[in-house]
Every structure is written in structure tokens, then in C-alpha cells.
Amino acid sequence: QVHLVQSGAEVKKPESSVKVSCKASADSFSTFAFNWVRQAPGHGLEWMGGIIPVFDKPIYAQNFQGRVTITADKSTNTAYMELSSLKSDDTAVYFCARGPPLLPPRYFQHWGQGTLVTVS
């Protein structure tokens, strides 16, 4: 049984940064791909990037290049997504999603509960 538990909701000022965590149940954490997908209110899904902890070489969508940093801590089975220079249209629910041990990702099998980030 795979569980992904994300950190709580955040309210941030424009131009600040936010860091969201995603703690995974101990189940070969290091070898799976952890991705981040966001969903603005009333909108669809948008892939931001992903990482396979054992390789520690994240890939990012061009839309977020330079603003997003994805990391993974193998000692605590936790993946992180940090987004900087926040703008109002970064207000969204941010999901972590685990897929097979592949990057680029092929699909997202397990999802966290989502973290609402409000920029205001």
C-alpha cells in the first residue's frame, strides 16, 4: 500500500517562495519517480517536473525552468518541490504523484492528497 502525505496549505506573498513536501511510505522510495503536478482553481492538470531519488537528477517543464526546484531526501523518504518568485497565478493545488522508475514519466499511479498554495 503506497501512501503519499503532503504538507499543509500555505499562504504566500507575491515574489516569495514556497516549499511543499511529500512523504512516502517506505516502499523502495529511492527507485521510483516522484513528480509534481499542479491544478489552478477551475483548471486542468499541469506537470511541473520529476525526480528519481537514487539518480538525483531532476527534470523540469520549460514553463517552470529557473523557478522550480525538486529534491528528494532518501533518509526520510520525502520529496520536495520549491517554487520561487511566486505570482498570483501560481495559486493552485500542488500534487505529488509517484510513477514507475522512469523519467520522462509514463504515468502517475499514486497521488498525494494535494497542497493548496495561495499567493496573495
Partner 1 sequence: SVLTQPPSVSAAPGQKVTIACSGGYSNMGTNSVSWYQQVPGTAPKLLIYDNNKRPSGIPDRFSGSKSDTSATLAIAGLQTGDEADYYCGTWDNVLRAGVFGGGTELTVL
Binding residues for partner 1, rule: CB under 8 A, are: 35, 37, 44-47, 50, 59, 61-63, 95, 97, 104-114
Contact 83, 45 (CB under 8 A): no
**Helix (DSSP H) and strand (DSSP E) numbers for the chain:** 0, 11
Cis peptide before 104 (omega within 30 of 0): yes
The CB-of-46 to partner 1 minimum distance in angstroms stands at 7
Q: Which is nearer to partner 1, 13 or 57 (CB)?
A: 57
The CB-of-35 to partner 1 minimum distance in angstroms stands at 7
Contact 117, 47 (CB under 8 A): no
Q: Which is nearer to partner 1, 54 or 93 (CB)?
A: 93
The CB-of-1 to partner 1 minimum distance in angstroms stands at 11
